[in-house]
C-alpha cells in the first residue's frame, strides 16, 4: 500500500500529451511533494514543448494523508488508489479518467484520458525519484 510519505520528496517528471487531432506536446521538469499540515503540497515545474514553442509551466495541488487530491482553491479533484488503478473526475462538460501504475515503484506513471466537447487528449506522466540534495 502506498501512503503519502512514499511520495514526499523530489521527482523527475516527463510527460507526453497526444491530442485527438494528431498534434502532440511534451513536458520536461520536476515534481515535489512537500509536507504541509497533515498533508502535502504538490508542485511541478518545467517546460512545455508544443508546436508553437517552449513555455515555462507550473501546476500545484494539495494532497491529504488519504491520497485525496485537491485543487489549490480546496475543491476536490480525485483520490489516488493506494495500490494503483483507476480514478476519475468530471469537469463539466469533460470527463477525466486516470490510471495510476505503481508496478515499477518507485518509478511510476499516471495515464490520463480526457474527452468531451472541449478536450480530447491522452497524457502520460512518468515519475522517477531524485536523490535528496547534498548539503
DSSP string, 9-58: EEEEEEEEEEETTS-EEEEEEEEEEEEETTEEEEEEEEEEEETTEEEEEE
Please give the mean pLDDT across all residues of the chain: 95
Residue 72 within a domain: yes
Give the whole-angstrom CA distance, residue 96 versus residue 113: 6
**Tell me: the pLDDT tens digits for 12-68?**
999 999 999 999 999 999 999 999 999 999 999 999 999 899 999 999 999 999 999
Whether 132 has a pLDDT exceeding 90, the answer reads no
Residue 27 within a domain: yes
Residue 1 within a domain: no
Q: Pull the grid cell for residue 131.
A: 536523490
pTM: 0.93
Count H helices and E strands in the chain, helices first: 0, 10
Give the whole-angstrom CA distance, residue 59 versus residue 133: 22
Structurally, the chain folds into a number of domains equal to: 1
Structural domain boundaries, residue 120: 7-129
Whether 135 has a pLDDT exceeding 50, the answer reads no
For residues 132 and 102, the model is more confident at: 102
Residue 134 within a domain: no
Give the whole-angstrom CA distance, residue 97 versus residue 95: 6
Q: Pull the grid cell for residue 62.
A: 494539495
CATH number of 30's domain: 2.40.128.20
Span between the terminal Cα atoms of the chain, in Å: 31
Give the whole-angstrom CA distance, residue 64 versus residue 40: 6
Nearest to 35 by CA among 71, 64, 78: 64
Residue 71 within a domain: yes
Interval 113-119 mean pLDDT: 96
Residue 62 within a domain: yes
Amino acid at each position: 500500500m502506498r501512503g503519502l510519505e512514499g511520495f514526499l520528496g523530489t521527482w523527475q517528471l516527463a510527460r507526453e500529451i497526444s491530442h485527438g487531432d494528431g498534434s502532440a506536446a511534451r513536458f520536461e521538469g520536476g515534481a515535489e511533494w512537500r509536507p504541509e499540515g497533515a498533508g502535502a503540497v504538490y508542485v511541478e515545474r518545467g517546460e512545455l514543448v508544443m508546436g508553437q514553442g517552449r513555455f515555462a509551466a507550473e501546476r500545484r495541488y494539495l494532497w491529504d494523508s488519504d491520497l485525496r487530491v485537491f485543487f489549490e482553491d480546496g475543491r476536490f479533484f480525485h483520490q489516488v488508489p493506494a495500490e494503483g488503478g483507476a480514478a476519475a473526475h468530471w469537469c463539466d462538460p469533460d470527463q477525466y479518467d486516470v490510471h495510476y501504475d505503481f508496478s515499477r515503484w518507485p518509478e511510476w506513471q499516471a495515464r490520463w484520458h480526457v474527452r468531451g466537447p472541449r478536450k480530447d487528449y491522452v497524457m502520460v506522466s512518468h515519475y522517477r525519484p531524485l536523490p535528496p540534495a547534498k548539503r
